[in-house]
Structure 1
Amino acid sequence: MKLHNLKDNSEQVSFAQAVRQGLGRNQGLFFPESLPQFDDVEALLALDFHTRSAKILSAMLGDEFTEAEVKALVDAAFQFPAPIKQVEAGVHALELFHGPTLAFKDFGGRFMAQSLAAVSDGGKITILTATSGDTGAAVAHAFYGMENINVVILYPKGKISPLQEALFCTLGNNITTVAVNGDFDDCQALVKNAFDDEALRKEVGLNSANSINISRLMAQICYYFEAVAQLPVEQRKELVISVPSGNFGNLTAGLLGKAMGLPVKRFIAATNVNDTVPRYLETGEWDPKPTIPTLSNAMDVSQPNNWPRIEALCERKGWGLNELGKGAVTDEESKESVRALDAQGYLCEPHGAIAYRILKEQLTEGETGLFLCTAHPAKFKEAVDDILQRDIDLPAPLAKHAALPLLSLERDADFEQLKQVLRDAQ
Structure 2
Amino acid sequence: MKLYNLKDSNEEVNFLNAIQHGLGKKQGLFFPKYLPKFNSHDLKKLISMDFITRSTHILSHFISDEISLNDLKKQIQSAFSFTQPIIAPVTKNISCLELFHGPTLAFKDFGARFMATMLSYWKNENSIMTILTATSGDTGAAVAHAFYCMHNIRVVILYPKGRISALQEKLFCTLGKNIHTIAVDGSFDDCQYLVKKSFNDTKLKNKIGLNSANSINISRLLAQICYYFEAFALIPPQYHNDIIISVPCGNFGNLTAGFIAKSLGLPIKSFIAATNANDTVPRFLKTGIWNPHNTISTISNAMDISQPNNWPRVEELFKRKKWNLQNLTSKSISDAKTIRTLQELHKIGYISEPHAAIAYRALKKNIQKTDFGLFLGTAHPAKFQDTIEKVLNIKLNLPNSLQSRVHLKNFSHQMKPNFLNLKNFLLTQI
Q: Same fold (TM over 0.5)?
A: yes
The answer as to 2:37 corresponding to 1:37 is yes
Unpaired stretches in structure 1, ≥5 consecutive residues: none
In structure 2, the residue matched to 1:264 is 268
Alignment partner of 1:94 out of 67, 92, 97: 97
Letter in 1 for 2:73: K
Offset at 1:365? 2.8
Could you tell me whether the CA contact under 8 Å between 2:4 and 2:13 is conserved in 1? yes
In structure 2, the residue matched to 1:335 is 339
Q: Which moved more, 1:149-158 or 1:383-392?
A: 383-392
Q: Distance in 2 between matches of 1:193 and 1:222?
A: 31
Task: Work out the number of aligned pairs and report it.
Answer: 426
Letter in 2 for 1:165: E
Instruction: Spell out structure 1 runs of 4+ moving beyond 6 A.
Output: none
Unpaired stretches in structure 2, ≥5 consecutive residues: none
Q: Distance in 2 between matches of 1:69 and 1:365?
A: 45
Offset at 1:402? 1.1
Alignment partner of 1:104 out of 93, 104, 107: 107
The answer as to 2:364 corresponding to 1:360 is yes
RMSD: 0.8
The answer as to 2:73 corresponding to 1:71 is yes
Alignment partner of 1:58 out of 57, 60, 84: 60
Could you tell me whether the CA contact under 8 Å between 2:93 and 2:369 is conserved in 1? no
- Structure 1 length normalisation: TM-score? 0.99
Offset at 1:417? 0.8
The answer as to 2:186 corresponding to 1:164 is no
Q: Distance in 1 between matches of 2:211 and 2:87?
A: 33
Could you tell me whether the CA contact under 8 Å between 1:20 and 1:119 is conserved in 2? no
Quote the sequence identity (%): 55
Q: Distance in 1 between matches of 2:135 and 2:331?
A: 23
In structure 2, the residue matched to 1:46 is 48
In structure 2, the residue matched to 1:82 is 85
Q: Distance in 1 between matches of 2:63 and 2:270?
A: 26
Offset at 1:240? 0.4
In structure 2, the residue matched to 1:255 is 259
Superposed, 1:178-193 pairs within 5 Å as 178-193=182-197
Q: Which moved more, 1:37-46 or 1:380-389?
A: 37-46
Letter in 2 for 1:105: K
In structure 2, the residue matched to 1:378 is 382
Letter in 1 for 2:311: W
Q: Distance in 2 between matches of 1:197 and 1:260?
A: 36
Q: Distance in 1 between matches of 2:192 and 2:48?
A: 40
Could you tell me whether the CA contact under 8 Å between 1:176 and 1:425 is conserved in 2? no
Q: Distance in 2 between matches of 1:259 and 1:194?
A: 33
Offset at 1:425? 4.5
In structure 1, the residue matched to 2:237 is 233
Could you tell me whether the CA contact under 8 Å between 2:244 and 2:271 is conserved in 1? yes
Q: Distance in 1 between matches of 2:429 and 2:253?
A: 28
Deviations 1:186-245 (A, max 9, x none): 000000000000000001000000100000001100001001100000111110000000
Q: Distance in 2 between matches of 1:236 and 1:343?
A: 29
In structure 1, the residue matched to 2:302 is 298
Could you tell me whether the CA contact under 8 Å between 1:267 and 1:325 is conserved in 2? yes
Alignment partner of 1:402 out of 388, 406, 426: 406
Offset at 1:90? 1.1
- Structure 2 length normalisation: TM-score? 0.98
Could you tell me whether the CA contact under 8 Å between 1:238 and 1:368 is conserved in 2? yes
Q: Distance in 1 between matches of 2:292 and 2:73?
A: 41
Superposed, 1:309-328 pairs within 5 Å as 309-328=313-332
Q: Which moved more, 1:37-46 or 1:303-312?
A: 37-46
